[in-house]
């Protein structure tokens, strides 16, 4: 059955037309789904019972079961949601001083194979639809009776390997008649799918772009991230510069520091040379060690040195606060555990 949450408002108008209804009905339905966030069609009280029946026959409203929920002492909540087809996805709610941020998944599993990531080694199943992406935010708002202020596409999956659905999800999230999430409050993170960075630069969506860089050296980056063998750092930087020139927006580069791998001041020097003069920001992440992983976290002392060195040389860098470490909030760990437990 079709998922009614997959449609942006313009598309929903077309759907409603197919049911023989006036376009303004689409606006009403859209508001019920994405603003009021009802869990079933019968709650749509200004819609005739006849149309509600038609909707029920043709569409699923896409609610999620909470398969598991873990709560950290720092307020971070990690959800494992059950999808209609029996698959499960992870989403994380983080509390910051500026509000609540939800980290959404874009796929069930990931094909990218980054060596440090917990999603690697467990099977890729499929991409999520737009509605399935948006529903993560709705389900968390319903569960916590609160409003989410920021969304980051940093959960499981590669957003630019599911480009169309991710862009459509952003359009749905943006719409003032629904969730009304300003584009500046949405970040998309990619491991570096270069052709999609060009597409994204040409797209009329204003959200923030994050690039998972992790090394400024092709040899080290390829050893960490297979995507670097398809699109190397030079090609990646060319695309990033095009994006900046086209959108006049700052890129955020993510750099996960691991001991003796990419955390030396010599690595910082290389990074400075690579990013010099670009409109950007570096987000340093203490790498999270995964089960059987070969990368271990840099010491806090090294991380601070690395940050100060970048800042002293004109590259703005901050260290990402670690949240939810007591509940393994990082990267794919809950889905991984769940699959294991089921075996």
Q: Which residues bind ligand SAH (CB under 6 A)?
A: 112, 114, 116-117, 154, 158, 189-191, 212, 254, 256, 285, 287-288, 290, 330-331
The two beta strands, 88-96 and 99-103, are antiparallel
Distance CA 337, CA 343 (A): 10
CA-nearest of 116, 47, 121, 132 to 81 is 132
Closest distance of CB 291 from ligand SAH, Å: 10
- List beta partners, residue 127: 107
- How many C-beta atoms surround the C-beta of residue 201 within 10 A? 18
CA-nearest of 224, 165, 213, 217 to 189 is 213
Closest distance of CB 114 from ligand SAH, Å: 6
Name the residue nearer to ligand SAH (CB basis): 15 or 90.
90
CA-nearest of 204, 214, 141 to 174 is 204
Distance CA 340, CA 343 (A): 5
- List beta partners, residue 189: 210
Closest distance of CB 267 from ligand SAH, Å: 16
Closest distance of CB 308 from ligand SAH, Å: 21
Name the residue nearer to ligand SAH (CB basis): 44 or 191.
191
Degrees, nearest 5: CA angle 304-306-312:
100
Residue 4, judged by CB atoms within 10 A of its CB (0-12, 13-18, 19+), counts as buried
Name the residue nearer to ligand SAH (CB basis): 90 or 158.
158
Catalytically active residues are 90, 331
CA-nearest of 42, 45, 46, 35 to 5 is 35
Distance CA 61, CA 260 (A): 49
Closest distance of CB 152 from ligand SAH, Å: 8
Distance CA 283, CA 226 (A): 21
């Amino acid at each position: 059955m079709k998922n009614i949450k997959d449609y942006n408002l313009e598309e929903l108008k077309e759907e409603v037309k197919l049911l023989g209804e006036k376009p303004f009905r689409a606006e009403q339905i859209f508001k019920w789904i994405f603003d009021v966030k009802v869990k079933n069609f019968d709650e749509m009280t200004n819609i005739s019972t006849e149309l509600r029946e038609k909707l029920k026959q043709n569409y699923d409203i896409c609610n999620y079961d909470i398969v598991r929920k873990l709560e950290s002492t720092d307020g971070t909540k990690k959800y494992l949601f059950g999808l209609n087809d029996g698959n499960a996805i992870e989403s994380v709610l983080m509390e910051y001083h500026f509000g609540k941020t939800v980290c959404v998944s874009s796929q069930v599993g990931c094909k990218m194979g980054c060596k440090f990531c917990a999603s690697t080694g467990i099977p890729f199943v499929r991409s999520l639809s737009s509605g399935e992406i948006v529903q993560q935010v709705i389900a968390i708002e319903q569960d916590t009776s609160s409003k989410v202020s920021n969304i980051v596409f940093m959960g499981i999956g590669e957003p630019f390997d599911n480009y169309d659905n991710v862009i459509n999800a952003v359009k749905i999230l943006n719409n003032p008649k629904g969730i009304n999430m300003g584009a500046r409050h949405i970040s998309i993170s990619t491991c570096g799918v270069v052709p999609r960075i060009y597409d994204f630069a040409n797209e009329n969506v204003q959200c923030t772009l994050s690039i998972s860089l992790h090394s400024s050296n092709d040899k080290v980056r390829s050893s960490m991230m297979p995507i670097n063998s398809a699109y190397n750092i030079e090609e990646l930087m060319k695309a990033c510069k095009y994006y900046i020139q086209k959108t006049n927006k700052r890129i955020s580069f993510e750099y996960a520091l691991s001991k003796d791998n990419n955390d030396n001041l010599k690595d910082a020097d290389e990074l400075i040379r690579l990013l010099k003069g670009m409109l950007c920001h570096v987000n340093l992440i203490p790498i999270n060690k995964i089960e059987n992983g070969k990368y271990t976290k840099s010491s806090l002392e090294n991380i601070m040195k690395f940050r100060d060195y970048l800042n002293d040389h004109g590259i703005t860098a901050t260290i990402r606060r670690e949240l939810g470490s007591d509940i393994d909030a990082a990267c794919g760990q809950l889905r991984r555990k769940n699959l294991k437990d089921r075996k």
